[in-house]
Amino acid sequence: MSVGIDELMKSRKDNLEYLRKKGIEPFPYSFAPTHYSAELKDKYESKLKAGDHTKDKAIVAGRVMAKRNFGKLYFV
Does residue 15 form part of some domain?
A: yes
Cβ burial 2-41 (10 Å sphere, 16+ → b, else e): eeeeeeeeeeeeeeeeeeeeeeeeeeeeeeeeeeeeeebe
Count of structural domains, the chain: 1
pLDDT recorded at residue 31: 82
Q: Render pLDDT for 6-56 as a digit per residue (tens, 0 to 9).
A: 999 999 999 999 999 999 999 888 888 999 999 999 999 988 888 889 999
Burial class (CB in 10 A: 0-12, 13-18, 19+), 58: middle
pLDDT recorded at residue 36: 92
Strands (E) in the chain, as ranges, are: 68-70, 73-75
Does residue 39 form part of some domain?
A: yes
pLDDT recorded at residue 1: 59
pLDDT recorded at residue 5: 87
Does residue 20 form part of some domain?
A: yes
Parent domain of 33: 5-47+57-75
